[in-house]
Structure 1
Amino acid sequence: MQDTNNFHPSDFGLLPFLEALIEERHVSRAALRLNRSQPAVSHALARLRDIFNDPLLVRGEGGLQPTARALQLAEPLGEALALMRSMVAQPSFNTEQCHRHFRLSLSDYGAAILLPTLVSRLRKSAPLVDLSIVSYGRERALAALIDGEIDLAVGVYPILKQARHADLRSALLFEETFACLLNESSGCGALSFDDYLARPHVRVSVALQDDSEVDDALARLGYKRRIAVQLPHWSAAPDLVRGSDLVLTAAKRSIEHLGRGGLQCSALPFQLSSFPFVQTWHRRREKDAPHRWLREEIAAIAGAEGRR
């Protein structure tokens, strides 16, 4: 390896590569974060190894691991780059000139309450911003954030607390509760617990193995409901209930307006805590100004929804 005295002023441009590689511990994810090609990042790593006369990252359990020298460099490197970025930071973010394509994971429920207003706002204030929406299950959505496949996930993610998701950040949009939707002619007033368990149920879930908070709560009580129909499409679920003995348990905001025309909305017949509806993203996007602006737009829309 070459001596560290071989450092050239042009090599200062490699320092963000080193920061990304130490934090991401993965060449492909570092490339995504830097918006550079994987070969370019690999080439930068090779040059950095020459400069510092150290491997910096070595193969280990779970992928690349930083060497002792890399860990020693991490803090002063972060401070130096933060200072440089503060010196060149733009004083404001111009939404009208922003060319970005954001990829979001939203459930049918999240799309229904957020997208109409969000798209309307974007068309007026950020007409060059494009959106692609996917609907992933909880595990899949968080994995896609980590891999850089999507930019933002909005929904209910209790597994965010797990250690393997330590690189994800989240913000509460509002607290939600559950309610039941059933055919009006099948009963009046509140649904009893015994009747709830005796009836067949509709469950909306993208992933076959995604048990909901409802199923988890029933399991803690020692009960299990029968799922007669499971489907990924929320829009079709209410019509399955109409004229049948089926019960749909869902977020209250998504069904309370349907309690008419042959359907009724009933309170859940057992105790279940409210649940947080959040937006979550990878820390690599934390200081990305357009990404932060999009999060703020979503938070404002959800805040108005949460006050209903």
Structure 2
Amino acid sequence: MIQLDLNLLQTFDALFESRSTTRAADRLGLTQSAVSHALRRLREALDDPLFVRSGRSLQPTARALEMGPEIHAGLVQLRGALASGRFDPATVHRTITLAVGSYFCTLIAPQLIAWARAAAPGITFRLVPLDKELPALLEAGSVDLAMGLFEHVPDRFVTEAVFDDEFVWIAAANHPLVRRRVNLEEIDRFPLLQVGTVHPFGLPSAMIEIRQVSDVAGLQIPRGKVPDSVVYEGTTAIAAVAATDMVAQVPRRLAERVGPTLGTVCLDTRTSGVRFTLSALWHSRLRQDAGIRWLLDQLKRF
């Protein structure tokens, strides 16, 4: 009987999913040489190449294609078994990896980390960017929980609303539109700074679609209005608006938290802003994970 340790099986699973030693190393938190060494041990133990180079990717052999789904299913089941049990935040030692965007990093992460230092000192939060490989990272256990706007979520994943926000118009504190009620026609007379809505993580509809906070349908952009500048996240937009005569739409929470420091205010408009909901996403095998439930309860308080 072939004896393989769990680390080798995890390496095989990461290579099978990513088809790359570099991406597998990033997913596992290892060096590329460590992954190559583990692959060499696997090849020797199984007497099969397992993966062969094809262009810039690794393609599985017939033996690897036969083993891959079974190994992956076994690892998922094992992680689920280990995830359950009693959870005491004051004494537990655990790393929780969160895939998040800039909105979360600015508004929630500082409070979460500061609060956990006192309430759960043994928990380490590891924040990584939202990425087009999110489904595979959740499957592999490299990411425990993601926060964002998600669509087309397969049944093997769980989503739960965490909190709501709305978009508001902002301008510099000394802007002519400040300190009075304005309408969209008045806003339209000033240069527009837009938070980019072209999402870089496009995925097939069968997978999870990750949307930017800025990519929310129904934003009140005046018809035919061409933005004078485009940035990719809200804090940059607030800083740019503070230094110019431009106007922009950003989430209210962000505008109220960051705006006063940078020098912007929310405009008093005649209509309500477009609302959106930030949701948590995690794998269904962690549905009963007490640590994940604890974390979600805390996030809903921020």
TM-score by length of 2: 0.61
Counterparts in 2 of 1:84 and 1:47: CA distance versus 1, 3 Å? same
Correspondence 1:181 to 2:166: no
Preserved contact between residue 106 and residue 154 of structure 1 (Cα < 8 Å): no
Q: 1:250 Cα shift?
A: 1.2
CA deviation profile, 1:57-106 (whole Å, cap 9, x unmatched): 22236611223322222233344445656676673355434264868655
Counterparts in 2 of 1:111 and 1:62: CA distance versus 1, 3 Å? same
Match of 1:15 in 2: 9
CA deviation profile, 1:165-193 (whole Å, cap 9, x unmatched): xxx99764334321113458636664322
Match of 2:183 in 1: 192
Secondary structure, counterpart of 1:127 in structure 2: coil
Match of 1:3 in 2: none
Paired residues in the alignment total: 276
Match of 1:91 in 2: 85
Distance 1:189 1:144 in 2: 46
Letter in 1 for 2:253: R
Distance 2:110 2:49 in 1: 50
Match of 1:226 in 2: 228
Preserved contact between residue 178 and residue 268 of structure 1 (Cα < 8 Å): no
Distance 1:99 1:262 in 2: 40
Distance 2:34 2:99 in 1: 27
RMSD value, Cα: 5.3
Q: Unpaired segments of 5 or more residues in structure 2?
A: 201-211
Counterparts in 2 of 1:68 and 1:173: CA distance versus 1, 3 Å? farther
Preserved contact between residue 181 and residue 266 of structure 1 (Cα < 8 Å): no
Equivalent runs, 1:1-308 vs 2, <5 Å:
7-8=1-2, 10-13=3-6, 14-60=8-54, 63-81=57-75, 91-93=85-87, 95=89, 96-98=91-93, 100=95, 106-107=101-102, 109-130=103-124, 141-142=130-131, 172-182=161-171, 186=177, 190-202=181-193, 212-213=214-215, 221-227=223-229, 234=235, 237=238, 241=242, 246-255=246-255, 263-267=265-269, 273-278=274-279, 293=291, 296=293, 299-304=296-301
Preserved contact between residue 20 and residue 57 of structure 2 (Cα < 8 Å): yes
Preserved contact between residue 189 and residue 266 of structure 1 (Cα < 8 Å): yes
Secondary structure, counterpart of 1:177 in structure 2: strand
Counterparts in 2 of 1:111 and 1:51: CA distance versus 1, 3 Å? closer
Preserved contact between residue 117 and residue 301 of structure 1 (Cα < 8 Å): no
TM-score by length of 1: 0.60
CA deviation profile, 1:224-279 (whole Å, cap 9, x unmatched): 2434x96978399379559x8543421123336879x995533486x985334345
Distance 1:88 1:241 in 2: 50
Distance 1:181 1:161 in 2: 32
Secondary structure, counterpart of 2:225 in structure 1: coil
Preserved contact between residue 177 and residue 267 of structure 2 (Cα < 8 Å): no
Distance 1:156 1:89 in 2: 23
Q: 1:54 Cα shift?
A: 3.2
Question: Larger radius of gyration, structure 1 or 2?
Answer: 1
Counterparts in 2 of 1:45 and 1:115: CA distance versus 1, 3 Å? closer
Distance 1:154 1:77 in 2: 24
Distance 1:218 1:202 in 2: 13
Q: Unpaired segments of 5 or more residues in structure 1?
A: 1-6, 135-139, 163-167
